[in-house]
Amino acid sequence: MSDVITAAVAALNEKMGGGFDAGTAKFVIEGEGAIIVDGDGVRAGDDEADVTLTADADVFEDMLSGNLNPTTAFMTGKLSVDGNMGLAMQLGSALA
């Protein structure tokens, strides 16, 4: 597992309090790997998900640090969303 994924899993666990009960989401960090977020918590993995959010490592880091709003990232094309858009919006709120 890449250092970027390891750091992202730790940061998401801290930010989200360990889980997301609304469904299953996958973050794909281009060139690094994928992270699954669900009711069991946050972990590295590439399982099927209700929504998949894809961004490069810099955009993902900026969203986690609060320097980039997830909605703004989506609207400017820095973040792509495939699947349940309502779930993506709930996840974006959890990250903000």
Give the separation between CA 92 and CA 86, rounded to whole angstroms: 10
What is the pLDDT at residue 36?
94
Distance CA 48, CA 69 (A): 25
- Please report, in tens digits, the pLDDT of each residue of the chain (96 residues total): 689 899 989 888 888 776 678 899 999 999 999 999 998 889 999 999 999 999 999 999 999 889 999 999 999 999 999 999 999 988 887 776
pLDDT at 18: 60
Residue 90 token pair: 């709930």
Note whether 58 and 84 are within 8 A (CB): no
Residue 58 identity: D
Q: What is the pLDDT of residue 92?
A: 81
| 14-39 as b/e: b if 16+ CB within 10 A | ebeeeebebbbbbbbbeebbbbbbbe
